[in-house]
Chains A and B, each alone.
Chain A
């Protein structure tokens, strides 16, 4: 009894988990602040200076000078254009392919799991490895694998090309392997979406006289809306994050034909130690990604 009274005097609230909650969150919060928020703010700060690594000059505020320089830089502008082309081609091709595969795999047939595994496999491959293998596939000359394949499908009309050193083909070559690597991911997401559609909807549609096409158009597509928006947005963002394959395969060349925004940012900030310039590119890159993300949130909100 006395014991109970003593406890009551604590006058503790029944449930305020704040101390525990903060304790549980601290490692995560500290990590995110130190390694994401602070560098991010640093990027914004640096982008308004003239900071270079190893430069003896004092750091000065230069206002929007870096942005002005970056946005009038031919290579950087080319990078933005390349990323946009990348997005406009890769997103529809990859999504269409992934949707087709998901629809095929969604049938209740034996062995579909094996096909799913095969199509998903490239996703687990590190991009650096994929880039190296595809360098070999794109080998110039008649004996190159891609050249041979194209020769066969065009009945001999294809002239062997050096893909990665051809200003017209370098970017498409990079796009092709990116599609190859990314399709599996989209397919899995869409397949999970398809499997979440209640079967009764199709039965109801069939009873209402809807054929296969109408079922797809009026049941499948609306039900897949969220996964579709998701994969389109993620792929769009990834289209702007392209770096590894460009660095390994083409180094942005020839003549900036395959350069990307991130590649330019790293080249400036790391290879050339122009930290401020790289930071400005980074900020522009972030603003692009942010815009795409806001478009996504807009779509999701509309649906609610």
Chain B
């Protein structure tokens, strides 16, 4: 019991701050939109952008006391709850179809980024393990993959910090650069969404990038990103075994258990709710029970929107540019090259297969 009270006290200030900013930002955004006359100005004042930019301004300009740190860090929890709740509004069939093609694209993307980053890391003589961490971060899902991999390949703490800083820096850049490229190329919501999900590294930033483009794009981004997250364990296991073979890390003894431990469990929650609501809609294809279900799915969508809104405030607050510039030039150069290469590779793939993907 004491543990729960301690955790609550530790998390409460930051979470309350994030809540206050999310709700305040939402009203502020609506007010801004009501006074802006031009359409592009209104889209810049969207609730998503106001949450992220507001968070960034406060995170970088206001010296926040340390009591807020733990609660601000909890935005990852809201992200995951938001994704689990999102499961309710996707039919399992669509998830399976998109997931099948998505997984194939993700495998290609991961192989490409591991090969490319590995090559560049050698060229710039980065330490092997830093190179691995960067390629895992770029290839799969940013921060959680890096943390997962750094334990398994026994990387130095400093290298882990570097790799995370690089990934976060590019996440922040992606929020601005990707939507601009998408608009310039007049990409559809589907194409842009899948692209952002494949190419933006960290889950929170990927979902935010999709959301900045459009609500429809965000749905595709989230699904594509989940495919990447689901493969995290396999890639980390591969690297762990490779380093173990060269005597640079411990052997992995129970591989099945290892894969299960590294599997992002919230994906199961997403799939579970998708299965449940798909089954209910199939049982009640019409009539009052059906329309009741539709209103409930709408209500759950609202909850998931708010969970994402909290996430976006957290992403903004966490993006402190001061910490990022300490990264050093070499990992940054490798990062720039890798991100650009992955972006080009994945946009090519997306243009090839977009027509094959189901419309959500």
A and B, one complex?
Answer: no
Interface residues of A (CB under 8 A from B): none
Interface residues of B (CB under 8 A from A): none
